[in-house]
Amino acid sequence: MELIVNKDNASSNIERVHVSEITYEDFYENYMKKNIPLILTGYIDKHWTSYKSFCNNNSNNNNIGHTSNMNMEINIEYLINKFRDAKVPVYEHSSIDIESRVYGNATNITMTFQEYIENYYYYDKNTTAVTKASLSSLTSKKKEERANINNSLFYLKDWHYNIACMEANVDSEYSIPVYFQSDWLNEWWEMHRREFFFNFENPKHQQYIKYIYNVENDIDKESDFKFLYFGNANTFTPLHHDIFKSYSWSGQIVGQKKWYLYPPHNEKYFDDDPPCGNYKLLSSEKHKLKYGPKLKYVTGMIEVVQEPGELIFVPSGWYHEVYNQTSSISINHNWLNECNIEMVYQHLKEEWKQTVNAIIDIKDIMAEKKDFILECNKLMHRNTGMSLYEFRFFILFYIEKYKKNVSSSIAALELLTKIVADVNLELIDIV
Ligand SMILES: O=C(O)CCC(=O)C(=O)O
Ligand SMILES: [Fe+2]
């Protein structure tokens, strides 16, 4: 694949550090706070049982370091036994999309894990002979017709893997290293969001919630920001920043992934439209016109191959493209905390402003200003995944938590208080 970036400007590096050589405080001060990417070695191969069990030939794989899963075959039978009937999201994208580096007319389909393996993974021309041989007893000849239609590639991605493990009652076989454990995003989503929606005696609040959200889809369904990615060589994820401009970490269990990471200051050279946003897709024609020339101005790009057993830290607001160079399985979480909350807030505020502007015409025809503000929240929730109204409660929750904890940082508490005051100005008609 030819890289369009101006090579003179694309010389930045990423550090690789063994977990035995970096403390949490180091990571906090020098990477999380400074928003600098990093690769951590020596954790997955030691602590994730999936690092062994998701591969065949376990006997050769005796903790000899991060390259040991390089040429490994995925243990498909093991995974089918675990997840057979689990419903998984699968993106179909064309192999020609690799040239234009976007999802052309990608579609997202839901199927069972077994269907994905038997119909899409197995018959992909990029699946190795060894994997096919190990799977042959599980697949039937007539399914071969499904193979390689339209040069398609099928990428199982954004699968809520933790929820799937709970539903299938199986061990997720991974753990979160200490560096990534201060995670307000998943804590809120998994444990406190429902309190915000339901445990209020305030009838006005109940009315607003009903207006902004669809209770069944947005509130009752369990959700989180913990995903598994599974694809053949050449499957990829196009340029984007992560949801809410949160941090992300991604752990490579099998295979190699190539990352292109772009520092946030390059944002002006990217399309305002998706797919720079959160996995939204754009037609390749439109993208090709704008993307090629602009990419020449990009500076500070990092190009790196993530080896099996390595964890990558992707900082807030860094754009990235990700290419599987071999068959690959990885797990990724999005998260945020006091170190990037300001950046997340600035992003959400921008989204809020754009939402208000998009529907400003209807402001005057609404009976009351509060109706307009509610409408904006509803739209923002639908487009970005979080309304400003919800964000306010999210921040209030962490203010309370900080106040209760004597060791909390004063600066962080002040920052959160400032953010909530600013949000209040926007939402003055409903709070
Ligand atoms: O692995 C991929 O295809 C995408 C991963 C990603 O975008 C992330 O971890 O933030
Ligand atoms: Fe991402």
Distance in Å, CA 354 to ligand 2 centroid? 22
Q: What is the pLDDT of residue 327?
A: 93
pLDDT tens readout for residues 296-328: 778 899 999 999 999 999 999 999 989 999 999
Q: Tell me the CA distances in angstroms from 314 to 150, 201, 273, 334, one per residue in order.
A: 33, 40, 21, 9
Residues with CB under 5 A from ligand 2 (ion): 242
Which is the closest atom of ligand 1 to the Cα of 320? Answer: 7
* Rounded Cα–Cα distance for residues 242 and 146 (Å): 33
Out of 320, 329, 331, mutate this one to test ligand 1's pocket (max ligand atoms within 8 Å of CB): namely 320
Categorize the per-residue pLDDT at 95 as very low, low, confident or very high, splitting at 50, 70 and 90.
confident
Instruction: Say yes or no: CB of residue 246 within 6 Å of ligand 1.
Output: no
Residue whose structure tokens are 């009976």: 367
pTM exceeding 0.85:
yes
pLDDT tens readout for residues 335-361: 999 999 999 999 999 999 999 999 999
Categorize the per-residue pLDDT at 13 as very low, low, confident or very high, splitting at 50, 70 and 90.
very high
Dihedral sign (CA 105, 98, 118, 142):
positive
* Rounded Cα–Cα distance for residues 244 and 316 (Å): 9
Q: Report whether pLDDT(1) > 70.
A: no
Domain 7-175+223-335 carries which CATH code?
2.60.120.650
Q: Report whether pLDDT(283) > 60.
A: no
Q: Report whether pLDDT(58) > 50.
A: no
Note whether 121 and 154 are within 8 A (CB). yes
Q: Residue with the nearest Cα to atom 5 of ligand 1?
A: 322
* Rounded Cα–Cα distance for residues 72 and 60 (Å): 10
Distance in Å, CA 416 to ligand 2 centroid? 26
* Rounded Cα–Cα distance for residues 302 and 12 (Å): 5
Note whether 189 and 218 are within 8 A (CB). no
Q: Report whether pLDDT(3) > 70.
A: no
Distance in Å, CA 250 to ligand 2 centroid? 9
Domain boundaries, the chain: 7-175+223-335, 338-431
Count of Cβ atoms closer than 10 Å to residue 117 Cβ? 27
pLDDT tens readout for residues 115-154: 999 888 877 777 777 777 766 666 554 455 554 556 788 9
* Rounded Cα–Cα distance for residues 29 and 77 (Å): 43
Instruction: Say yes or no: CB of residue 314 within 6 Å of ligand 1.
Output: yes
Considering only CA atoms, which of 204, 137, 255 is closest in space to residue 373? 204
Q: Report whether pLDDT(250) > 50.
A: yes
Q: What is the pLDDT of residue 274?
A: 47
Between 147-156, 224-233, 359-368, the lowest mean confidence (pLDDT) is in: 147-156
Q: Where are the alpha helices (DSSP H) in 256-332?
A: 284-295
Q: Tell me the CA distances in angstroms from 398 to 191, 213, 394, 401, 412, one per residue in order.
A: 13, 22, 7, 5, 10
* Rounded Cα–Cα distance for residues 318 and 187 (Å): 23
Q: What is the pLDDT of residue 297?
A: 79
Q: Where are the alpha helices (DSSP H) in 260-387?
A: 284-295, 341-358, 369-384
Q: Which residue has the higher pLDDT, 282 or 407?
A: 407
Residues 6+ positions from 95 with CB-CB distance below 8 Å: 151, 152, 153, 234
* Rounded Cα–Cα distance for residues 311 and 130 (Å): 27
Note whether 262 and 268 are within 8 A (CB). no
Task: List the Cα angle 200/205/207 in 5-degree steps.
Answer: 120
